[in-house]
């Protein structure tokens, strides 16, 4: 107890020249939500990290960049750069006991703008993420109500659905309703319990499909390609692809991990917790590849054909064709697959909504219930507007021919704001606040053997890598680079 108090006192003595003299004591408000324990935090944070990117982008990148070579590169990045930023965000949240705006402004009002930029991200992402979640829900239902051939028609089914004036909005709202209901039940009663059900089911389903796919003739070649490193494929593009995938997949710079860290007890071991989160993300991503790459390999015949498809095209056009080739089991495999993707989408959506709720509750000083109501109004209105980009407002093509309002929201949040916020954060912690402030917070509950390596990562390596992500993904949007 004395050791903990000593560390807490040290944390308030770091860098007095940059900390606002009026900075509050970093005690968590007694009425603030909290996790039931370490494992519920790990499970919920891992569930947030496991989302659509694991299902439709990781397998595509692995197929494109030499299978095992990409997986190995991704592993190295997750357990260096990835968990370093996870540790930064969760310790910042736990130290201040606040969501992002309060967390940054606690160190001085002049740093509030970082929190404001960070707070904007979940409000931009959540509406369009729920639209895509509605697409997944539609396909899940369709494998019960329709013949598999209906979805395996080269994309007509998908295009007809997303451009519809009714169905696309109905499924978006149904997905939102499910996510809002879970968040309305609170951290312990809603988020924890939902993740406790969905995450195990997701893992079991994914493993089951991967095992089943491995029994098909020709699957062995796809598995061998996916897991065997081909170092001739190693390139700067591979590293940038793995770097971007890891950054987005781990829910970094989305205000989520700061919020989740603010609910965490001072007694929990932060370094071990974030290592578990990174490991869970890597595990699910790898299993997703074992489901998708061999299956697509069987039908499409080569890694190049698999790598030619990514994102919605892979998920909603290519894979239904793959399932159709499986014959009589296609309805079952299709339903189970889209159900597990639905779970992945929901676990990420509830973490995004929770971040929005926490930001409003902390920033406006209102109750959680009122903050949720405000969040619902904002997210639903924004979701309807963005979804109109596929029908009533389809004439608006903000990023060039064929682009949509969803593409614009994704570009602004993922390719621009997230890298900028992360860059500002590592500069703030590394060079203004100084790393020792968060090191003291981490050491309250555990030893920190990697302290020196973490400081080097935050101060020197992370800023460079974040600039690379920002430049590469903005350049990719305008055709100057491809990943």
Q: Which residues of the chain have pLDDT under 50?
A: 1-28
pTM of the model: 0.91
Rounded distance between C-alpha atoms, residue 281 and residue 257, angstroms: 14
- What the block records as the tokens of 1 is 């107890």
Q: What is the DSSP letter of 230?
A: -
Phi, psi of 200 (to 5 degrees): -60, -40
Token digits for 11? 């944390």
Domain boundaries, the chain: 2-477
Relative orientation angle of helices 436-443 and 2-11, to the nearest 10 degrees: 160
Per residue in 108-166, pLDDT (tens digit) is: 999 999 999 999 999 999 999 999 999 999 999 999 999 999 999 989 999 999 999 99
Instruction: Determine how many CB atoms are found less than 10 A away from the CB of residue 196.
Output: 16
Q: Environment class of residue 393 by beta-carbon count within 10 Å: exposed (0-12), middle (13-18) or buried (19+)? A: middle
| Cα-to-chain-centroid distance, residue 174 | 21
**Alpha-carbon span 302 to 436, nearest angstrom:** 50
Residue 466: the pLDDT is 97
Tens digits of per-residue pLDDT, 262-274? 999 999 999 999 9
- 21 SS3 class: coil
> Residue 13: what pLDDT?
35
CATH class of 2-477: mainly alpha
Q: How far apart are CA 396 and CA 281, in angstroms?
A: 36
Listed in sequence order, the residues at least 6 apart from 157 whose beta carbon sits closer than 8 Å to its beta carbon are 142, 150, 151, 320
Q: Do 316 and 143 form a contact (C-beta atoms < 8 A)?
A: no
Q: Which among 105, 31, 77, 82 is positioned nearest to 263, based on CA atoms?
A: 31
Q: What does the block give as tokens for 433?
A: 């606040």
The span from the CA of 92 to the CA of 112, in Å, is 14
Helix intervals (H) in 365-461: 368-387, 405-410, 418-427, 436-443, 451-456
Secondary element (H or E) of residue 204: helix 193-214
The predicted structure's pLDDT at residue 54: 92
Please name which of 172, 23, 86, 125 lies closest in space to residue 359, comparing C-alpha atoms.
Answer: 125
- Rounded-to-integer distance, Cα 126 and Cα 132, Å: 10
- What pLDDT was estimated at residue 480? 60
């Amino acid at each position: 107890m004395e050791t903990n108090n000593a560390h807490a006192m040290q944390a308030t003595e770091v860098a007095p020249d940059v900390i606002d003299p009026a900075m509050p004591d970093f005690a968590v408000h007694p009425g603030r939500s909290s996790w039931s324990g370490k494992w519920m935090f790990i499970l919920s944070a891992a569930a947030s990290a496991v989302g659509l990117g694991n299902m439709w982008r990781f397998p595509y990148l692995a197929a494109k960049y030499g299978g095992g070579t990409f997986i190995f590169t991704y592993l190295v990045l997750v357990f260096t750069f990835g968990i370093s930023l996870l540790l930064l965000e969760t310790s910042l949240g736990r130290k201040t006991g606040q969501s992002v705006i309060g967390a940054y402004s606690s160190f001085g009002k002049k740093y509030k703008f970082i929190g404001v930029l960070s707070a904007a991200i979940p409000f931009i992402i959540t509406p369009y993420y729920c639209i895509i979640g509605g697409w997944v829900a539609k396909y899940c239902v369709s494998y019960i109500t329709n013949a598999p051939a209906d979805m395996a028609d080269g994309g007509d089914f998908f295009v007809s659905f997303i451009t519809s004036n009714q169905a696309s909005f109905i499924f978006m709202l149904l997905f939102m309703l499910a996510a809002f209901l879970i968040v309305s039940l609170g951290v312990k009663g809603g988020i924890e319990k939902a993740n406790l059900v969905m995450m195990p089911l997701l893992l079991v389903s994914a493993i089951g499909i991967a095992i089943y796919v491995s029994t098909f003739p020709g699957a062995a070649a796809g598995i061998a390609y996916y897991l065997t490193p081909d170092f001739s494929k190693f390139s700067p593009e591979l590293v940038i692809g793995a770097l971007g995938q890891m950054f987005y997949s781990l829910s970094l710079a989305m205000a989520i991990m700061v919020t989740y860290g603010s609910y965490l007890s001072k007694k929990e071991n932060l370094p071990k917790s974030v290592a578990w989160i990174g490991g869970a993300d890597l595990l699910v991503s790898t299993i997703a590849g074992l489901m998708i790459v061999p299956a697509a390999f069987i039908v499409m015949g080569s890694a190049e054909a698999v790598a030619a498809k990514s994102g919605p095209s892979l998920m909603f056009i290519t894979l239904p064709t793959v399932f159709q080739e499986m014959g009589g089991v296609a309805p079952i495999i299709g339903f189970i697959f889209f159900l597990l993707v639905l779970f992945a989408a929901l676990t990420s959506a509830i973490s995004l909504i929770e971040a929005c709720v926490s930001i409003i509750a902390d920033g406006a000083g209102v109750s959680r219930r009122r903050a949720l109501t405000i969040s619902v109004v904002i997210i639903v209105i924004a979701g309807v507007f963005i979804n109109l980009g596929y029908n009533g407002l389809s004439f608006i093509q903000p990023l060039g021919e064929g682009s949509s309002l969803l593409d614009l929201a994704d570009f602004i949040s993922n390719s621009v704001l997230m890298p900028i916020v992360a860059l500002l954060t590592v500069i703030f912690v590394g060079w203004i606040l100084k790393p020792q402030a968060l090191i003291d917070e981490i050491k309250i509950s555990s030893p920190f053997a990697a302290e020196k390596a973490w400081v080097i990562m935050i101060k020197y390596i992370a800023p460079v890598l974040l600039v690379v992500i920002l430049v590469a993904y903005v350049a990719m949007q305008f055709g100057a680079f491809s990943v």
